Structure 1
Amino acid sequence: MVEYADGKIIAEVKDGVGRITFNQPEKRNAMSIAMWDGMSHALESFEADDAVRCVVLTGAGDKAFVSGADISQFEKNRSDADAQKEYGRKTGGGRKRLLNYPKPVIAEIRGFCMGGGLGIAMSCDIRIASSDSQFGIPAAKLGIAYGFDMVTNLVQLVGPANAHMILMSGDRFTAAEALQFGLINKVVAPEELGATVAKLTATLAVNAPLSLRANKRTVKAVGLDPADRDMAAIAAAGDACFDSADYAEGRRAFMEKRKPVFTGR
């Protein structure tokens, strides 16, 4: 286990799964600037570790995944437009690393998932939530606007009509409503959340890493403007899969009626 941001970000690896815990339960895991930096370092460490096949993000305690930004820092760090730009610069590294992360990332959501916390969840590939979770973007109740990348993610997940409802109302929505919007992938009972995520990560941890990366890259590219799609990189990722030892192993395992053992090569 490794701690970042004075213990407010905890990173650990087990059975091919990297887990990052937002550890500020006394503030419902609200994100400070230091926590953004800590998350970025944890993700960087997991990316460099071939033993880590996928990553789970979760919040400490049972009250919140991430309740949003740490509002106690707003007066000092987000008091006006210029301060917001500096805040965006300081937190942008963590946001960019998560948004462009090559390995699968799952958000394990319990409790409040609000504002910037929902932005974190939307930057993950899969979102699984307990039935007692709550979601929302209270921008209209704070007098602020959310950035283009976060709103783009929201619109791609839920469509323009639901995005307007979420942003304009600033209301909280239940896990069932979030599922209906398309904001999350699955809702389970609170006592089943850990086991459900563990079952999924166990599957991802034994699937072919090159295939997971290539397909994630392609899915991401679909949501970009055509001019921003790196089609050469997508083709190269596909070629790497077909030229890999893992592809040969997958074929052999299928013919031999056994489970394949993938190495990421």
Structure 2
Amino acid sequence: MDDQAEGGTQAISLSVVNGVATIIIDRPARKNALTAAMWAALIDAVEQVDALPEARVLIVRSGGSDFSAGADIAEFETVRRDADTARSYEALNAKAFAALRNVRVPTLAAIRGACLGGGFGLAISCDLRLAAPDARFSIPAAKLGLAYPAEGIRHIVWAAGPQLARYLVYSGQQISAARALDAGLLLEVVEDDALDARVETLAATIAANAPLTNRATKQAINAILSDDPLMMREAERLGDMTFISEDYAEGRRAFREKRKPVFTGR
């Protein structure tokens, strides 16, 4: 497959099985670097998940040995050549990050190898991040002479804390999975051959829980991080809806009957 085709929309795939949606970034020959077409396809895939009532959790992972080396620098002469084109390109990035942050279901990132630049932005836009020991993280913007988008910096600070965020952006240096775990950037570090199974087990656990509860909780956490009163009011509304839901009645019945509840999202 030639590089143009490899960088097209077919490098992003979506599947949904038993309530677990999976988006795969699959361009391993370029370390899963994302072209503009791939960013757009990723946004479309997340929006599809948001519209699927059967989807209860979303996994983002990659083909090959790297999560993503970030945006495809080979395109920058055209799509990011000056301030005007950079703004348009970064708006596409920001829309992809926002889609992951705001999709109604919890999101998990399964990370191996390089998780750099825009790939780092995708990972930290997910709710939970698990990585193999070989995962490595960096924001190389200062080595390219460009500014990482300000909105993206906000989310690096949320995920990594201000001190590590400064180090990552100022230095452009990579940090290991072990250091990322110590900093709270990762939930777990799992041996490479067990990573997919661990992520899938966690996703299945989340998918078995009440989806309305998870949606209200995700909204509340995002509202707290954003310090946004409107988002908090929406979180409160979603929380109130759980108390009149069929799932709440099912949860109480299952507790009385000493069995696992079967939630329908209604």
TM bin, normalised by shorter chain, reads over 0.9
**SS of 1:66 mapped into structure 2:** coil
- Within the alignment, does 1:214 sit opposite 2:213 as a pair? no
Q: For residues 19 and 264 of structure 1, what CA distance do their matches in structure 2 show?
A: 19
After superposition, give the CA deviation of every residue in 1:142-165 in whole Å (9 maximum; x if it has no partner). 111111221111111222111111
RMSD over equivalenced CA pairs, Å: 1.4
Partner of 2:170: 168
Q: For residues 227 and 237 of structure 2, what CA distance do their matches in structure 1 show?
A: 20
Shift of 1:80: 1.8
Q: For residues 81 and 95 of structure 2, what CA distance do their matches in structure 1 show?
A: 21
Partner of 1:87: 89
Equivalent of 1:99, from 98, 101, 105? 101
Structure 1 residues 201, 233: CA separation in 2 closer, same or farther (over 3 Å shift)? same
Kindly provide the amino acid, as one letter, of the partner of residue 203 in structure 1. T
Q: For residues 232 and 136 of structure 1, what CA distance do their matches in structure 2 show?
A: 35
Report if the CA contact (8 A) 1:36-1:95 is conserved.
no
Shift of 1:70: 0.4
**SS of 1:146 mapped into structure 2:** coil
- Within the alignment, does 1:47 sit opposite 2:50 as a pair? yes
- What is the aligned length? 260
After superposition, give the CA deviation of every residue in 1:51-77 in whole Å (9 maximum; x if it has no partner). 111110011112x11111000001111
Equivalent positions of 1:15-34 (< 5 A) are 15-34=18-37
Shift of 1:132: 0.8
Q: For residues 233 and 93 of structure 2, what CA distance do their matches in structure 1 show?
A: 30
Partner of 1:250: 251
The runs of 5 or more residues in structure 2 that have no matched partner are 1-6
**SS of 2:105 mapped into structure 1:** coil
Q: For residues 232 and 99 of structure 1, what CA distance do their matches in structure 2 show?
A: 18
Equivalent of 1:129, from 125, 128, 131? 131
Report if the CA contact (8 A) 1:130-1:189 is conserved.
yes
The runs of 5 or more residues in structure 1 that have no matched partner are none
Q: For residues 135 and 90 of structure 1, what CA distance do their matches in structure 2 show?
A: 22
Q: For residues 143 and 184 of structure 1, what CA distance do their matches in structure 2 show?
A: 28
Query: 42-51 or 19-28, which moves further after superposition?
Result: 42-51
Report if the CA contact (8 A) 1:40-1:94 is conserved.
yes
Q: For residues 226 and 80 of structure 2, what CA distance do their matches in structure 1 show?
A: 29
After superposition, give the CA deviation of every residue in 1:192-228 in whole Å (9 maximum; x if it has no partner). 10111011011011100000000000000111134x5
**SS of 1:254 mapped into structure 2:** helix
Structure 1 residues 84, 165: CA separation in 2 closer, same or farther (over 3 Å shift)? same
Report if the CA contact (8 A) 2:111-2:131 is conserved.
yes
Report if the CA contact (8 A) 2:98-2:125 is conserved.
no
Q: Percent identity?
A: 43
Shift of 1:231: 3.1
**SS of 1:230 mapped into structure 2:** helix
Partner of 1:236: 237
- Within the alignment, does 1:108 sit opposite 2:110 as a pair? yes
Q: For residues 164 and 91 of structure 1, what CA distance do their matches in structure 2 show?
A: 21
Equivalent of 1:8, from 7, 11, 25? 11
Q: For residues 125 and 86 of structure 1, what CA distance do their matches in structure 2 show?
A: 26
Q: For residues 231 and 52 of structure 1, what CA distance do their matches in structure 2 show?
A: 24
Kindly provide the amino acid, as one letter, of the partner of residue 19 in structure 1. T
After superposition, give the CA deviation of every residue in 1:31-88 in whole Å (9 maximum; x if it has no partner). 11111111111112111111111110011112x1111100000111111212201212
Shift of 1:93: 3.2
